């Protein structure tokens, strides 16, 4: 490797050193993987989640790798919790450089059978959680010319049957972040929408069904999906490069492309795919 290559590799690795990164939903799945990815690059990581036990376990794992971290028990659907998350981060680290809005829940049921409380729950976590955290972190992020990231979904580009509440919440998140980006063209704030596509994570097992209880079993073959660790690497480099948007997996990119160019075909293909899922509500 040439001296020039080594120099640029060094710059690459140092980019996020000592940056303060808040990750909601940071104790499991993509959020946890991102905590390790940013932490290994030298960032100071703040993980937020509802489950106190999983937070403690993740912090212990992060500290084993000498990653500087803080955990805050938070329900992002509660504005006061989001405000406290920001306050505790500032108290410990004095600044915020990245807010990664990753906390989210999913659902799987036909709308005709759905208790409306399920959609309220999804909107409160996926959409309002992003709005609350972003609102309270904004002054610090503008000061640092930092990054706001929303972990959206292909469901935020394509209406998925059986996921009406999930698609609604992710469309809303994407619209909010796209508008926020335009508002901040002259402030130095970086705003990114990240769409991982189908990823091996706990979100499908925790997805809500028609009555609001958890699905428990995933309808997909998780072993064939992109891993949370792969997603985290893409997320890190996209934040580092201050990208506007990332769409991961070939299936996700194809779905978005077809939906833009051939929306009627997209509807047909998406419906046929969902019908084939084990336990589909449309069989």
pLDDT tens digits, 116-130: 999 999 999 999 999
Catalytic site residues? 166
Does pTM top 0.85 for this prediction? yes
Position 266 in a domain = no
Residue 149, strand partner residues: 100, 192
Measured CA to CA in angstroms, residue 149 lies from 66, 90, 202 at distances of 25, 19, 20
Q: What is the pLDDT of residue 275?
A: 86
In a domain, 213, yes or no: yes
Above 60 in pLDDT, residue 222? no
pLDDT of residue 210: 83
Contact 194, 238 (CB under 8 A): yes
- The answer to whether residue 175 is domain-embedded is yes
Distance CA 153, CA 173 (A): 10
Band of residue 6 on the pLDDT scale cut at 50, 70, 90: very low
Residue 25 in domain: yes
In terms of residue numbers, what domain contains 198? 3-250
205-241 per-residue burial string, b: 16 or more CB within 10 A, e: under 16: ebbbbbeeeebeebeeeeeebbebebbbebbbebbbe
User: Is 258 part of a structural domain of the chain?
Assistant: no
Does a structural domain hold residue 112?
A: yes
Does residue 9 have a pLDDT over 50?
no
| pLDDT at 244 > cutoff 50 | yes
CATH number of domain containing 165: 3.40.50.720
Mean pLDDT of the chain: 89
Q: Is residue 259 part of a domain?
A: no
Has residue 262 been placed in a domain? no
| 34 and 100 Cβ atoms separated by less than 8 Å | yes
Please write the tens of the pLDDT for every residue from 154-174.
999 999 999 999 999 999 999
| Alpha-carbon span 30 to 194, nearest angstrom | 12
Tally the domains of the chain.
1
Could you report the per-residue pLDDT of 44-91, keeping only the tens digit for each?
999 999 999 999 999 999 999 999 999 999 999 999 999 999 999 999
Q: Which of 8-22, 23-37, 98-112, 114-128 has the lowest mean pLDDT?
A: 8-22
């Amino acid at each position: 490797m040439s001296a020039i290559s080594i120099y640029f590799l060094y710059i690459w690795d140092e980019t996020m050193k000592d940056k303060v990164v808040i990750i909601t939903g940071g104790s499991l799945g993509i959020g946890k993987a991102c905590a390790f990815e940013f932490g290994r690059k030298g960032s100071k990581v703040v993980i937020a989640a509802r489950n106190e036990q999983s937070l403690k376990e993740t912090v212990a794992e992060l500290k084993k790798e000498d990653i500087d971290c803080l955990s805050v028990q938070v329900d992002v659907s509660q504005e006061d919790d989001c405000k406290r998350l920001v306050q505790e981060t500032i108290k410990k680290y004095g600044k915020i450089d990245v807010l990664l809005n990753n906390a989210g829940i999913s659902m799987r049921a036909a709308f005709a059978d759905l208790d409306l409380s399920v959609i309220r729950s999804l909107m409160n976590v996926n959409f309002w959680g992003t709005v609350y955290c972003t609102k309270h972190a904004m002054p610090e992020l503008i000061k640092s010319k930092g990054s706001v990231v929303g972990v959206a979904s292909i469901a935020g580009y394509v209406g998925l049957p059986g996921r009406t509440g999930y698609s609604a919440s992710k469309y809303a998140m994407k619209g909010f972040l796209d508008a926020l980006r335009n508002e901040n063209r002259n402030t130095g704030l970086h705003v990114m929408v990240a769409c991982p596509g189908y990823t091996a994570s706990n979100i499908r097992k925790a997805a809500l069904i028609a009555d609001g209880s958890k699905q428990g079993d995933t309808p997909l073959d998780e072993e064939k999906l992109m891993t949370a660790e792969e997603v985290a690497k893409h997320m890190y480099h996209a934040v580092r490069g201050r990208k506007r948007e990332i769409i991961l997996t070939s299936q996700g990119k194809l779905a978005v492309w077809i939906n833009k160019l051939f929306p009627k075909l997209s509807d047909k293909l998406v419906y046929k795919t969902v019908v084939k899922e084990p336990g589909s509500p449309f069989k």
